Homo-oligomer: A and B are copies of this chain.
Amino acid sequence: MPNHQKYIQEAIKEAKKSLKGGGIPIGAVLVQNGNIISRGHNRLIQKGSTILHGEMDCVENAGRLKGTDYRKCTLYTTLSPCEMCSGMVLLYKIPRVVMGENETLRGPEELLKENEVEVVNLNLPECRKMMQEYIEKNPKLWNEEMERVGY
């Protein structure tokens, strides 16, 4: 039985690191055989990056893994993965995604499930609150991001 709570807390630490650096509090960790092999967080503000979402940053930081390694991983993320991040999960055939919440926004979870990715929503008030507080304090920036993706 995987210890989801333990690993999602590490993703939350990444989200808080992003917040501390002036960025959006979304974080992720990649776990293989019980070990955190990579960490990442959203870099929209810090690097002006539109592709380094928390999940993408995390997988990028993992480097050039073998396919057989990705196939043993679980991606923990504080927020439901968007179309791009879900596409990345499908490309590397990461078999399991565990998210902190999907109320702030919800990516194509059905697409993941249709492609046999196990999707677990921990539905954590802590993750929702972190985003709510960020959005309340940074409405202009959040609205800019939502206009960008048309959510």
Contacts and interface: CB of A to CB of B under 8 A. Distances in A.
Copies of this protein, total: 2
A31 interface: no
Contact of A88 (B87, B93, B150): B87
Contacts of A67: 147-150
A86 B65 CA distance: 21
A29 interface: no
A148 B50 contact: no
Contacts of A70: 148
Interface in A88-102: 88, 90-93
B87 A63 contact: no
A82 interface: yes
